Structure 1
Amino acid sequence: MYDVAVVGAGPSGSSAARACAEAGLSVLCIEEHAAPGFPVQCAGLLSSRAFAGCEVSDHSVLNMVQGARVVSDLGAEVFFDARETKAYVVDRALLDEEMAADAACAGAEFWPKTAVVGREEGRLVTCGASGRRDVEARMVIAADGPRSGMARMLGLARAPVYLSGVQADLPLDLDTRYVEVHPNAAPQFFAWVIPTGAGRGRVGLCGTGGVREAFARFAARYPGGCTHLVTGTIPLGAMPRTYGRQTLFVGDAAGMAKPTSGGGVYTGVRAARHAAAVTVSCCEADDFSDPALAAYEQRWQADFGRELALGMRLFRLRQELTAEKVDALLEPLSDPDITDLIVRYGDMDRPGELVRRLMTKPKLLRGLVTVAGPSVRVILKDLAFGVNE
């Protein structure tokens, strides 16, 4: 019997496996693919904080960026430059591989090309390269992605919103210091252009519907031979309960992607460490009851729960913005005082502080109230009294 079985070897799963192994627990990590990181389903843009949280070398780093350009199809544009590295463009396959290797070096055992296909009398039923194998574990950490089979097996409610995404690697002549964001190319979210190095870039977008057609229109702006095409799913909105029946849910399996950007590495890795800490405590106390597991949800909620809830408010506001409204909002954002705030307080992982400061700017606030009055008032109330979903 293992102390803990981790299902999934992405950044969240490998972080949890490593932390548990370093604490002295016996750890099994079950990964359905032949190697961590495949297939790649990520834009690969990590904030400096998220990259540091992965605790890896720079082996996977393709490029470093220091600013962004937000472009409306109707003419408005906002540009800001932090003049220092704010994010890393990584090869996610290499990143995931290194994180899994670090977990293995810490003592975690890995079963690649193995899927969890059932749960019987507390045991995990797996099927893979070695045939059927049953796994007994005192605890389970589910890091099995946006369509989490573990959540389905337990009958738990899932994230309320799912985005579909498409991304292509193309030859592009870009300034490698800046990413581009195109909100009107994907009306429910946004499109992006990420430089991966000299003469190369990633073009992609996410949305809730019509994604294939929107991507075709957007990608047509960048003619060139596609060398890599990926699709993926992003869950938005944490599941109502992230624990139960000796199982903790982390990362995309728990719906912890950031609603403002779709990124999930930062929140997933932090949740994984909270899950590992609670797993260690439960094993030491030999208490795997739901009240004992509830400490995990308390920990991650105290850490970044309010940021996720505010992000969902902003995501819902995004659904109300037409191309004309987006264009109208970008005009006040281009004010030097506003771009200075964005540079000083902008945070890909914790946008709450920046949003609070932006809401104190009369010109911007008037514009927001004009284009989306009721929703902005709800956000202002949340910022004043704390956000709860």
Structure 2
Amino acid sequence: MASQPMTYDVVVVGAGPVGSAAASACAGLGLKTLCIEEHGTIGYPVQCAGLLSNAAFAECRVSDRSVLNRISGARVLSAKGSGILVDAKKTKALVVDRGALDREMAEHAAHDGAEYLLRTSVCGIRDNTLLTRGIHREQPISFKMLIAADGPRSTIARLLGMQRAKVFLAGIQEDILHQGDPGFVELYPDAAPGFFGWAIPTAPGRARVGLCARTHAHEHFAAFIKKFSSSSVHLVTGTLPLGVMPKTYAHRTLFVGDAAGFAKPTSGGGIYTGVRSARHAAAVAAEACARNRFDDAGLSGYERRWKADFGNELALGFRLFEMRQHMSGQDVDDLIRALNTPDLLQTIEEFGDMDRPSALVKKLLLRPGILRLFKPLMQAGLRSLF
């Protein structure tokens, strides 16, 4: 005998920070909300560097108990020997235990009234019913609205035939023993073609070392990790989507976070844009339920909301990412040396923003020395963004 469907106003698929933010916001708006997660433990497996800007951490609305370290700046080191040190002399970012962060956000969502169903995966969608498998075997779940927060390889997007993000990078990261300055992230733009590598201090004597690459990530990582201690504590891999999917709503469904391709192309971070997109999605879901209107025209306000919020930043970031693909090691070294002046470092320290880099980019491109380096690439299309 088939199970009777459980019925909810909103079902959120994925219980990471973005999914829990959506569940919390929906429940807070009075919607009967369920969040389902395929894994048995929230916050595991961890597939994130765990470096959050102050603004991104504030968006999570959690306590400091997940914070492992505080970052005030960054060293950028080229393979040709050039480097710069950017020191804001105050906390600009936080290194967090992502498992603890995820669990605290889920606790808050549950406190707000959201229900959670773990060890449950989506295997089909029929009209407005999810077909799931898991701890309760096969279970249909009926919804008025669906929010897809199920990451870069979104099952919901695949089942609905949605076009995906433009680019997928493979990421590899190890927790290692590493003696570095705990107040500074180290960035290595030559570690992987077209993106970069990093060493993020989690505590004195320890760091998360990783990189992202379009191809041959394992080979690039094997070469990169030789710079550091061989004492690996933990290794993780993951996928980074760059370039927003062409349409972020359809079939009673709103796509948020990595499922929508909202990771920042300049840094790879996705918490800030993801959590903000989740709250926009909750507001639109509440409007749709109140009006009992779930067609695409009724849901299009979601796209207007996130585009007005951070759409231009993502567009600029992706254009910069495209430019990066055409930069040689010498181009990168030239840029680092050009930036290494007291006045430009002060500009970076004053206007640098991990989440909204456009203000800094515009300031830098007003400098003749920087503009000269980028002029050939700007002629290929960057100018249209300013």
TM-score range for the pair, normalised by the shorter chain length: over 0.9
Would the alpha carbon gap of residues 98 and 8 (structure 1) be closer, same or farther in structure 2, given more than 3 Å must change? same
Choose from 232, 235, 239 the match for 1:233: 239
* Alignment correspondent of 2:140: 134
Shift, 1:376, TM fit? 5.3
Determine the C-alpha separation between the residues in 2 that align with 1:272 and 1:185.
33
**Which of the residues 210, 217, 225 maps onto 2:216?**
210
Is 1:147 aligned with 2:150?
no
Instruction: Give 1:224 shift.
Output: 3.0
Alpha-carbon displacement from aligned partner over 1:165-211 (angstroms, at most 9, x marks no partner): 00000011111110000001111200000000111101000010111
Aligned pairs for 1:1-389 within 5 A: 1-369=7-375, 373-375=376-378, 378-383=381-386
How far the C-alpha of 1:380 sits from its partner, in A, is 2.6
Displaced runs of 4 or more, over 2 A? 374-378
Superposition TM-score, scaled by structure 2 size: 0.97
User: 1:94-123, CA deviations, whole angstroms, 9 ceiling, x for partnerless residues?
Assistant: 100110111011111100010011012321
Q: Higher mean Cα deviation, 262-271 or 223-232?
A: 223-232
The separation in 1 between residues aligned to 2:368 and 2:194, in whole angstroms, is 26
SS at match of 2:381: helix
Q: Note the C-alpha offset of 1:77.
A: 0.6
One-letter amino acid of the counterpart of residue 385, structure 2: D
Alignment gaps of 5+ in structure 1: 384-389
2 CA distance for matches of 1:215 and 1:346?
Answer: 28
What do residues 308-338 of structure 1 show as CA deviations (whole Å, max 9, x unaligned)? 0000100000000111111111111111111
Cα deviation, 1:116-141, whole Å, max 9, x if unaligned, reads: 11012321001001111000010000
CA distance in 2, matches of 1:260, 1:37: 25
Tell me which amino acid in the other structure corresponds to 1:69.
R
CA distance in 2 between partners of 1:302 and 1:358 (Å): 24
Q: Residue type of the partner of 2:137?
A: G
Per-residue deviation at 1:375? 3.5
Question: 1:80 aligns to what SS in structure 2?
Answer: strand
CA–CA separation in structure 1 for the residues paired with 2:283 and 2:81: 50
> 1:381: how far off?
2.9
CA root-mean-square deviation: 0.9
**Residue aligned with 1:220, SS:** helix
What is the CA-CA distance between 1:159 and the residue it aligns to?
Answer: 0.4
CA distance in 2, matches of 1:108, 1:84: 37
TM-score by length of structure 1 reads: 0.96
Deviation at 1:364? 1.2
CA distance in 2, matches of 1:35, 1:48: 26
Secondary structure, counterpart of 1:337 in structure 2? helix
Tell me how far apart the structure 1 counterparts of residues 144 and 364 of structure 2 sit (CA, whole Å): 47
Identity of aligned residues (%): 53
How many residues align? The count is: 380
Whole-Å Cα distance in 2 between the matches of residues 42 and 271 of structure 1? 18
Letter in 2 for 1:43: A
